[in-house]
Chain A
Amino acid sequence: MLVVYVVIWSSAVLLGLSAVWGLVWAIRTGQFHGLREGAESIFDDGEPVGTPTDFFPGAARSAASASGTKAGAMEEKWRR
C-alpha cells in the first residue's frame, strides 16, 4: 500500500510542480509578449502569410498562379 501512496503523491507533486515551472518559465522568457509575431512564427519568407500551401495533386500549379501570391508570381515568371 505504501508503494501506491508514494506513487500517487510523488507523481501528483511532480506533475503540479512541472506545470508551475512551465508557466513561470513562459512568463520569464517573454512567451506571452509579441503575440502577433508569435502567431506568424510558422510562416517564413518562402511561405509567407497569404500563401496557401496545399493542393490536390495536379491542381497545384494553376491554383498557385491564380492566387496571385508570391509563389504564384514565381511560377508565372518561370513559365514565361
Chain B
Amino acid sequence: MASIAVTKPAAVDSQELLTRVQTDRSCRQTVLIYYTSAVFWLLLGSVLAILASLKMHIPGFLAEWEWLTFGRVRPAHLTSMIYGWAVMAAIGTLLWLQARMGRVRLPLPLLLPVSGIVWNVGVAYGMIAILIGYSTSTEWLEFPVPVLGFFGFCLVLVIYASLVMMMRRKVHHTYVSQWYIYGGVLWFPFLYVSALILTQAPHVNGTVRAIANWWFAHNVLGLWLTPIGLASAYYFIPKVTGRPVHSYHLSLLGFWTLALFYNWAGTHHLVGGPIPAWVITVGIVGSMMMFIPVTTVAINHHMTMLGQFGHLKTSPTLRFVVFGAMSYTLVSFHGSLAALRSFSEVAHFTHHTIAHSHLGVYCFFTMMMFGAMYYIFPRILRREWSSAPLIKVHFWTTAIGSIIYVVGLGWAGLVQGWMMNNPDIAFMDVVKYTIPWLESRSVAGTLMSIGHVVFAILVWRMLRGDGAEQQGPTLFTTARSLRAQRERKARARERAKGVA
C-alpha cells in the first residue's frame, strides 16, 4: 500500500477509494499474467490466421513442410485464439470484475498467478502437439487429452476464487454481471470435461460424437465467452458513462433466459447432417428462444447508450465495448435466423459460417476484451496508456479489418451457397468465384494483425512504465497524490544530481 498515495479529500469517502485501490492492487500479478499471455497468443494466433487465410487462395504456399499445412495451421489458429487469447483474457477480466464488484481482494495471491503459468504450459503443449500431428481432430477439442489436466488445475482454482469472493463480498446485491460470471465459471468446466469424455471415449462414435462435439463447441461460445463478454458490457458501459443500466429487471430476465435456452441450441450446427431430425429441431427451437435474452440485452445496451454517444470520442474502453455490444446483437439475431432449415440450405458449409463465427469471436468477444483491457491495465498498474494516437490506430485497424472480413465473406458465402445449389454450375466455377473474396480476407486479416501488433506495443510500453503515472479522475488523482508524485520525482532528480 505504501507506494500508492491515497488522500482524503472532503468530497470522497476515503474508505471506498481505499477499497477500490486495494482490490485493484490485489489483482495485479494474476491479471497481468493472464493478460500478457493472452496478448502473446493473440499475436501467434494472428500469424497462424494469416497463413491459413493465404493458403486458401495460394494453395502451394509453404506446403512443403507438413507442420505448416492447412490441416494443422487452421486448428492451431483456432486453439491459439480460443484457449490462448480468448479464455486467458476472459479469466483475467472475470477475476478483476469480481473483486471490483464484490469490493473484496482477490484471494489466492500465490496460486492464481501460478495457474496462469500452468495454463500457458497447457496451451503450448497442445499447440505443439497439433503442429507435429497429434491433434485429436475433433474441432474445438484438438488438444490431446492430457492438456485437460493443466486446464483442470487452473479452472478449479478459478472456481474456488470465485466462490470465495462471492462469500466474502461486501455488497449484498448480486449485480447482473456477477450472475453472468458465476454462470460462466460454473458451466465451462462442466462443459469441457463432459465433452472431452463424450468425444474421446471409445464407446462414443459416429454421429453421436458429432452431436456431443457441436453441443460443446456452441456452448463454449454461449455459456462461457458470451457471459463474460456480456458481464463486461454490463459493467463497463454504465461505469464509463456514469449512467446505470437502462432497465435492470430486463437485464436479469436476459440472464435467466440465456441460462435456460442457450444449452439447447448447439445442434443447429448439424442442420442437414445425418442425425435424427428431432435433434436438429430441438436445436432450432432453442435458437429461436434465444431471441428473448438477445432482445433484452440489445434494448438495454442501446438505451443505456442513448444520448451518451459523445463519450465514444473520449473513452477508448467505450469504443471497443460499444462496438462489441452492437456486434453481439447482430451476431445473435443472425445466428438465430441462420439456424432455420431454409437459411441453412443455402449458407451451411460455405464461407458464410466463417463470417458468422468471426462476427462472434472477433467483433463481439475480442473487441469486448480489448475494451476491458483498456480499462483494467491502467488501474492495476496505476499508469496511463502511453499514446492516444496508437489506441486510435488499434481501434480503426481492427474495426475496419473485421468489417471487411465479415461483410466480404458473409456475402461471398451466400452467393457460393446459391451457386452450389444450382446443378448447372460447375463446382470449379464456384471455387473461382470465391477467390477474390478469400483474398479480401487476407487483406482484412493483415489490417487486424497490424492492430494487434500496435496493441502489443501499447501493452509492452504499459508494462515498462512509459505512461504518465496516476493521472486524471480515471485513477482518481488527488491533490496530495500528485504532490507526492512530484516530490518523488524531485527526490529522484536530486539523487541523480548527487551521483553525478
Contact = CB atoms under 8 A, between A and B. Distances in A.
Interface of A: 1, 3-4, 7-8, 11, 15, 18-19, 22-23, 26, 29, 31-32, 34-61, 63-64, 69-75, 78
B12 A45 contact: yes
A8 B215 CA distance: 13
Contacts of B375: 54
Indicate the size class of the contact surface on chain B.
35 or more
B242 A64 contact: no
A74 B242 contact: no
Contact of A46 (B12, B171, B235): B12
B81 interface: no
Contacts of B190: 11, 15
Contacts of A58: 384, 388, 468
Interface in B252-296: 252, 256, 259
A13 to B, nearest CB: 12
B109 interface: no
Contact of B244 (A43, A57, A75): A43
A54 B316 contact: yes
B399 to A, nearest CB: 16
Ranked 7 nearest A-B pairs via Cβ: A60-B472, A71-B473, A39-B248, A54-B315, A57-B384, A39-B244, A56-B388
B243 A49 contact: yes
Interface of B is mostly: helix
A48 B20 CA distance: 13
Contacts of B500: none
B230 to A, nearest CB: 15
Contacts of B332: none
B421 interface: no
B479 A41 contact: no
B174 interface: yes
Contacts of B13: 44-46
Given A44-B16, A64-B472, A37 B315 contact: no
Contact of B318 (A50, A54, A57): A54
A74 B248 contact: no
B467 A51 contact: no
Interface stretch (B145-153, B195-203, B323-331, B428-436): B195-203
A53 B175 contact: no
A64 B473 CA distance: 7
B207 interface: no
Contacts, number: 152
B468 A4 contact: no
A69 B385 CA distance: 23
B239 A57 contact: no
B249 interface: yes
A74 B480 CA distance: 12
A51 B473 contact: yes
B107 interface: no
B194 A47 contact: no
A38 B314 contact: no
A45 B100 CA distance: 15
A35 B175 contact: no
A52 B241 contact: yes
Given A54-B375, A57-B388, A42 B238 contact: yes
A26 B20 CA distance: 26
A53 B9 contact: no
A70 B476 CA distance: 11
Contact of A63 (B194, B243, B314): B314
Interface in B430-478: 467-468, 471-474, 476, 478
Nearest to B260: A19
Give the interface centre of B171, B472, B473 by most chain A CB atoms within 10 Å: B473
15 contacts: A4-B198, A4-B201, A7-B197, A42-B235, A43-B239, A44-B20, A46-B12, A46-B17, A54-B375, A56-B315, A58-B388, A59-B388, A60-B472, A60-B473, A71-B473
A72 B324 CA distance: 29
A57 B385 contact: yes
B124 interface: no
A75 B174 CA distance: 33
Interface in B69-118: 100-101
A7 to B, nearest CB: 6
B493 interface: no
Given A26-B174, A44-B20, A53 B474 contact: yes
A70 B9 CA distance: 11
B2 interface: no
B471 A47 contact: no
B474 A54 contact: yes
A19 B318 CA distance: 32
A14 to B, nearest CB: 8
B17 to A, nearest CB: 5
A78 B10 CA distance: 12
A24 to B, nearest CB: 13
A64 to B, nearest CB: 4
A51 B315 CA distance: 13
A7 B171 CA distance: 37
A18 B186 contact: yes
A15 B474 CA distance: 40
